[in-house]
A and B are shown apart, each in its own frame.
Chain A
Amino acid sequence: MAEVKTPSAPASSRRPLSPHLDIYRPMLTMMMSIAHRITGTALYVGTLLLVWWLVAAATDAKSFSVISTFLASIIGRVILFGFTWALFHHLMGGLRHFIWDTGRGMDHPEREYLAQATLGGGIILTILVWVIAYAVR
């Protein structure tokens, strides 16, 4: 079990700690757990872009052309690509949680496969959507 290292610390802060990030060796399952939170936070911030787009569409053609031009630029496309990946990665992570909710998929090989499927599924769906996006453009 982990402990606070400074011996001079008062008794109240020398109590045992739960193992945390500095102590665990990096593993895929743990990385996918962290990625779930990071993609969730990215989507949270990303709603600003969505609200900008919708409010511009509700305002007038001029406001709409400003956001359309921004989204079509290189920076805009990189942000949208990241947004797409965050959305699909978080969706895959959510599906993994549904499987866990049934009590399945927590043992050794299964949880590794699920972590790989989360990562792979998110990347494949992102590429698929962008291929469709360029095809229908």
Chain B
Amino acid sequence: MFNESHSLRTATSRVRYLGAARSGTQHNWHMRATSIALVPLTIGFVWLVLSLIGKDYATVRSTLGSPVPALLMLLFLGTGIFHMMLGMQTIIEDYVHGAHSKHWALLANTFFCVVIGLACVYAILRISFV
């Protein structure tokens, strides 16, 4: 950490521009918007999964590949994975304080969510069109 006793700079000068990144409102708004969307989407997702219980491979594929379930899944996964990326970002910012470990954790969170998200979208599209 910076040694304050050997500095000629004033306390104010040292902390200036190190405050809030001014992105908190946007993060909060994104969280609220995705939360609102996820209420009906989650109900739809649970309903869809319930309708697939005990069904064979061909039926699962034809259901997941038809327009309404496929769109529902794409919306649920896109919104849900963005929501969970924001949520995990908050958890990391709250609990991981090391300068390097925090940034690696935030990077890992972004990578995880992008990979999971793209894999899900690719799977849905492949089931729909191949």
Q: Do A and B come from one complex?
A: yes
Q: Which residues of A contact B (CB under 8 A)?
A: 37, 40-41, 43-44, 47-48, 50-51, 54-55, 57-58, 61, 64-65, 84, 87, 91, 94-95, 97-98, 101, 129, 132-133, 136-137
Cβ of A98: which chain B residues have Cβ within 8 Å of it? 35-36
A sample of 18 inter-chain contacts (CB < 8 A) reads: A40-B84, A40-B88, A44-B87, A47-B116, A47-B120, A51-B120, A54-B120, A54-B123, A57-B57, A57-B123, A58-B124, A58-B126, A65-B57, A87-B46, A97-B35, A98-B35, A101-B32, A136-B54
Let me know if A133 and B53 touch, CB within 8 A: yes
Given A51-B116, A64-B60, A129-B124 contact (CB < 8 Å): no
Q: Looking at the assembled complex, report how far the CB atom of B82 sits from the nearest CB atom of chain A, in whole angstroms.
A: 12
Instruction: Select the residue from B35, B77, B91, B122 with max chain A CB neighbours within 10 A.
Output: B35
Question: Which chain B residues have a beta carbon within 8 Å of chain A's beta carbons?
Answer: 32, 35-36, 38-39, 42, 46, 50-51, 53-54, 57, 60-61, 64, 73, 77, 80-81, 84, 87-88, 91, 116, 119-120, 122-124, 126-127, 130
Whether the Cβ atoms of B84 and A43 lie closer than 8 Å is: yes
Specify which chain B residues have a CB less than 8 angstroms from the CB of A94 in the assembled complex.
35, 38-39
* Minimal beta-carbon separation of A89 from chain B (angstroms): 12
Q: Which of A47, A91, A97, A136 contacts B42 (CB 8 A)?
A: A91
Closest A residue to B118 by beta carbon equals A51
Chain B residues contacting A84 (CB-CB under 8 Å) are 46
Report whether B46 and A50 are in contact in the complex, using a CB–CB cutoff of 8 Å: no
Contact call B127/A58, Cβ cutoff below 8 A: yes
Residues of the A chain whose Cβ atoms lie less than 8 Å from the Cβ of B88: 40-41, 44
Q: Which residues of A contact B124 (CB under 8 A)?
A: 54, 58
